[in-house]
Amino acid sequence: MATGIHRIKVSPVTSAAGWRSLGSRSPGTNSNASAIDAAGSGGRAAITNSTSHVWDRALARDASTLNYSCVVSYAFRCPQSGPDMHAWNPPPPAPNSLMPFLATMASKANALSRSQAAAYSATRPRAMRHQQQQRLPQSHLLTAPPCQAADFGGALSVVHPYMAAQVLQPRHGRMRPRSLLVNAAAGGSTIAGSEANPMAMGGGDTPTEDDDDSGLGSGSVDGMGISMDGVNRSGSSARCHTDVGLTTKDEDTIASIVTGVSHGSVAIIRVSGTEAVSIASRVFRPGGRFRFGWQPKSHRVYYGTAVDGDEHLLDEVLLIVMLSPRSYTAEDVVEFHCHGGGVCASRVLRSLIEAGARPAKPGEFTLRAFLNGRLDLAQAEAISELIGARTAAAADSALAGLRGGVGTAVTDLRSRCLDVLAELEARLDFDEDLPSIDVPELKRRIEGIQAGIEKALRTARAGNLLRTGLQVAIVGRPNVGKSSLLNAWTNSDRAIVTEIAGTTRDVLEATLSVGGVPVTLLDTAGIRQSSDVVERIGVERSQAAAVAADIVIMVVDGATGWTDTDNDIFRALWGDGPGSSTCKVKGLALLVANKDDLRAPRPDNGAGSTTVDFGSNSAAISVGASTAHIHGAGSGAFAKEPPLPLPLLARETFAAVVRTSASERRGLEALDAALLKLVGAPQLASGGMSWSVNERQAEALVRSHEALMRLAESIAADMPLDFWTIDLRAALLALAEVSGDEVAEEVLDIVFSRFCIGK
């Protein structure tokens, strides 16, 4: 018994470090600690033996279940009568400040129809089996009148999270990680609720006057990761914090320049936190009619000046106030729009820091947005990707993620998993009451979820290509037209081109977008034996570039064909072919036969055409309206004699031969197509794409998929139901990591450390 709450803290699905970070706060110093203390010690101590059993088991069960359903269960009883009055030690802001919240929950619960209630009636946890005699009908459970203080007391029970999730839908955005689940069942009244999105309580993106005045949405409950902040309504809308307990969210007001450091005409400084307005007021001097008195209103722009502590003028500025929760961080935010160029913004920022703000750490604004429930983790990552996007397709993909693409897909998969879990749990709890499980149907549902995961995983490759791009090294002997090809492909004069062999000495970079994939082209020095020290170093660098590249394009002179020198270069790089111990190149390989314009016309293949012959694994595709053709081929070699006679090893190494004329800018479309086909992303060529999962998300999805595979094995082996639920919960947990509903502090650190300062 002594482990009630603490057992939850170290439950296998919850970051132990996360809970420790909450629990380590000294009791009484803040509402978190008070609430935990009340529930963890005082509350437990006050419960009678028989009820304690229910309490303890129910909490322990729900701690694991709820974690999977974005809900942290926090059952409590209010000190309405008897010794429970003393259970809250020290008395937290509850119950009075909790009442408006509970009233909201009750009215939401009341809104749920009886039929829905009946549908979920079987989902109550096993703990309630012990209460069957006193069990309230579900309709009663959900049609309790709005809560009054007197309604609390009596036996405790916990409502199944699945039902709780149905009871409360956030008005904005998605369900958030930390939720409240309260069910004080006795004396005829029951409240069931789950605080999902803090926005749902205190308003969201667009709070209405009603929201501000109702008093119902003002509180947030802080305990077990749920905030119970006092609400300051002086001029601002409700402030709702959800401390996820994973990364400690400090209460500092932070400031940073959020625009780039390069010279622009405007620089923006963002200040975020509870003191944002007061700190900004110490620096900002309003002009015009506000000169003699200024009470900032949300989402208004004010003109004025910024000053330092000695009232020295620093800059003329525009000030935008965005009060919580209608801001990027969901905190009070003030932005200073200064003159660009660095100096003005730096001086204003310094003044803000002297006035009490703290410099923001990298990614801290977005971290706060995540912690405050403004974004899920996948959306936060999408912001970082959007900022770093190098092509329009990459930006499109990041935008799709930012608008909830990944999160929505994963939420759907999770809710399907939860449906299955609820059914299994119900069989565990009420096996005598319910029909047995339809195993073939269950298998079908699990396969459906697996298919959904696989579909999400299929986006990973294209997403990765868009995010990281490709390094493509162009190698070959001198004078074959490598630099000319780079210039033609990038439509630039980046590289020096002369008829002198050995013109390029160093590795030269140029970027381009190939069907939306960001490509970094590396032009290299022509590879040959040389007594010239500088050229020798250049050749070494060429080889090093080829070794490190994702794709190596070897250029030969298409008019003269494959020569002995080409063969030497090929052997130096690929040795006895890919996979052999002598092969240095790790990436994929393409062969370009340049100077196609100089090639003598052949009866079967006019000089104006460009032919791409793929080796193994390629199907016939046509490349737009160009004259290029890509032929399917047999295994491991060109199906028919390629347009360029090659030794067998070369045929097996290069996935395709592309004929180009750099000087006439021909064959470049075919080169694009060959490159995209080589990396398996021809669909990107059509431009734009939907969301994609990143590496971290893909890894979690793979774990979820594996857990479902284990579940399928458990079913096939006719293992007990308990085993099935273990695997299903593991699958759910992995899915929760994608959106950040359950995520370790270290993961958050890694994700947000990738951001730059000011984001």
Ligand X SMILES: Nc1nc2c(ncn2[C@@H]2O[C@H](COP(=O)(O)OP(=O)(O)OP(=O)(O)O)[C@@H](O)[C@H]2O)c(=O)[nH]1
Report CA dihedral (593, 595, 601, 604) to the nearest 10 degrees. Answer: 20
Distance set, CA 287 to CA 281, 302, 513 (Å): 13, 8, 48
Q: How far apart are CA 339 and CA 505, in angstroms?
A: 44
Q: Is residue 716 a contact partner of residue 735, using CB atoms and an 8 Å limit?
A: no
Per DSSP, what are the bridge partners of residue 186?
Answer: 189
Cis? peptide before 90, omega within 30° of 0: yes
Residues in contact with ligand X, counted by CB under 6 A, come to a total of 23
Residue whose CB is less far from ligand X, 569 or 733: 569
Residue whose CB is less far from ligand X, 236 or 483: 483
Residue whose CB is less far from ligand X, 596 or 727: 596
Number of neighbours of residue 662 by Cβ within 10 angstroms: 25
Amino acid identity at 188: G
Q: How far apart are CA 336 and CA 612, in angstroms?
A: 56
The single residue among 256, 484, 565, 611 that binds ligand X, judged by CB under 6 A, is 484
Judged by CB under 6 A, the stretch of 207-215, 284-292, 309-317, 474-482 that binds ligand X is: 474-482
Choose the one of ligand X, Mg ion, none that binds residue 478, judging by a C-beta under 5 to 8 angstroms depending on kind: ligand X
Q: Is residue 416 a contact partner of residue 448, using CB atoms and an 8 Å limit?
A: yes
The single residue among 73, 661, 725, 739 that binds ligand X, judged by CB under 6 A, is 661
Q: Is residue 159 a contact partner of residue 142, using CB atoms and an 8 Å limit?
A: no
Q: Which of 436, 450, 418, 414 minimizes the C-alpha distance to 721?
A: 436
Tell me how far, at minimum, the Cβ of 498 lies from Mg ion, in Å.
Answer: 8
Question: Ramachandran region of residue 236, left (φ > 0), alpha (ψ -120 to 50) or beta?
Answer: beta
Does 616 bind ligand X (CB under 6 A)? Our answer is no
Choose the one of ligand X, Mg ion, none that binds residue 480, judging by a C-beta under 5 to 8 angstroms depending on kind: ligand X
**String marking each residue 492-531 x if it binds ligand X according to CB under 6 A:** -----xxx-xxxx--------------------xx-----
Residue whose CB is less far from ligand X, 87 or 522: 522
Residue whose CB is less far from ligand X, 208 or 492: 492
Choose the one of ligand X, Mg ion, none that binds residue 661, judging by a C-beta under 5 to 8 angstroms depending on kind: ligand X
Tell me how far, at minimum, the Cβ of 502 lies from ligand X, in Å.
Answer: 5
- CA max distance for the chain: 102
The single residue among 478, 516, 615, 642 that binds ligand X, judged by CB under 6 A, is 478
Give me the residue label for tokens 């009678």. Answer: 48
Tell me how far, at minimum, the Cβ of 488 lies from Mg ion, in Å.
Answer: 13
454 to 493, contacts with Mg ion by CB under 5 A? 482-483
Tell me how far, at minimum, the Cβ of 199 lies from ligand X, in Å.
Answer: 58
Residue whose CB is less far from ligand X, 174 or 595: 595
Residue whose CB is less far from ligand X, 50 or 498: 498
Phi and psi at 733, nearest 5°, equal -60, -45
Tell me how far, at minimum, the Cβ of 667 lies from ligand X, in Å.
Answer: 9
DSSP letters spanning 98-138: GHHHHHHHHHHHHHS-HHHHHHTGGG--GGGGGGGGGPPPH
Q: How far apart are CA 193 and CA 195, in angstroms?
A: 6
Choose the one of ligand X, Mg ion, none that binds residue 716, judging by a C-beta under 5 to 8 angstroms depending on kind: none
Q: Which of 465, 457, 296, 487 minimizes the C-alpha distance to 394?
A: 465
**String marking each residue 486-525 x if it binds Mg ion according to CB under 5 A:** -----------------xx---------------------
Tell me how far, at minimum, the Cβ of 657 lies from ligand X, in Å.
Answer: 15
Tell me how far, at minimum, the Cβ of 600 lies from ligand X, in Å.
Answer: 13
The single residue among 483, 543, 611, 739 that binds ligand X, judged by CB under 6 A, is 483
The 8-class DSSP code of residue 656 comes to E
663 to 692, contacts with ligand X by CB under 6 A? 663
Choose the one of ligand X, Mg ion, none that binds residue 597, judging by a C-beta under 5 to 8 angstroms depending on kind: ligand X
Tell me how far, at minimum, the Cβ of 266 lies from ligand X, in Å.
Answer: 43
Residues in contact with Mg ion, counted by CB under 5 A, come to a total of 4
Residue whose CB is less far from ligand X, 447 or 664: 664
Residue whose CB is less far from Mg ion, 94 or 485: 485
Q: How far apart are CA 513 and CA 63, in angstroms?
A: 48
Tokens standing for 359? 């410099």
| SS3 (DSSP) at 520 | strand
Question: Ramachandran region of residue 341, left (φ > 0), alpha (ψ -120 to 50) or beta?
Answer: left
567 to 606, contacts with ligand X by CB under 6 A? 594-595, 597-598
Q: How far apart are the first and last CA of the chain?
A: 46
Tell me how far, at minimum, the Cβ of 558 lies from ligand X, in Å.
Answer: 8
Closest-by-Cβ residue to ligand X is 526
Judged by CB under 6 A, the stretch of 25-33, 101-109, 406-414, 477-485 that binds ligand X is: 477-485
Give me the residue label for tokens 């703990």. Answer: 127
The 8-class DSSP code of residue 432 comes to T
361 to 400, contacts with ligand X by CB under 6 A? none
Judged by CB under 6 A, the stretch of 21-29, 174-182, 305-313, 660-668 that binds ligand X is: 660-668
Tell me how far, at minimum, the Cβ of 562 lies from ligand X, in Å.
Answer: 16
Residue whose CB is less far from ligand X, 504 or 704: 504
The single residue among 223, 481, 515, 642 that binds ligand X, judged by CB under 6 A, is 481
Q: Which of 181, 58, 55 minimizes the C-alpha distance to 108?
A: 181
Helices assigned H by DSSP within 355-438: 364-371, 377-388, 392-402, 405-429
Choose the one of ligand X, Mg ion, none that binds residue 732, judging by a C-beta under 5 to 8 angstroms depending on kind: none
Degrees, nearest 5: CA angle 679-682-687: 120
Report CA dihedral (293, 295, 300, 306) to the nearest 10 degrees. Answer: 60
**Contacting residues toward ligand X, per CB under 6 A:** 478-484, 497-499, 501-504, 525-526, 594-595, 597-598, 661-663
**Contacting residues toward Mg ion, per CB under 5 A:** 482-483, 503-504
